[in-house]
Amino acid sequence: MNRIDKMSGGAAELVYGDGEFHVVRHGSFVTCAVTGAQITLDELRYWSVDRQEAYASAEISLKRHIELQSSS
């Protein structure tokens, strides 16, 4: 492992925006808010801007949305 690999490993911290995210702390993955699965940044496609949460799939994102709507 070289120096760059060490810098990019671990959890990243992101700010989720509409259609894009900004890296606050470099890392190689984020954690799904529902399942706890690690999502590599190049595979990250689903998140909530309002809740600042990442999701592993569209199905999980929808499940979370419905869950929170029904508890409101």
Q: Where are the domains of the chain?
A: 3-70
Q: What is the pLDDT of residue 1?
A: 35
Q: Which residue has the tokens 């492992």?
A: 1
Q: Using one digit for the tens of pLDDT, what is the confidence trace for 52-69?
A: 999 999 999 999 999 999
Coil, helix or strand for 39? strand
Give the Cα separation of 53 and 58 in Å (integer): 13
Closest CA to 32 of 60, 56, 62: 56
Q: Using one digit for the tens of pLDDT, what is the confidence trace for 13-37?
A: 999 999 999 999 999 999 999 999 9
Q: What is the pLDDT of residue 8?
A: 63
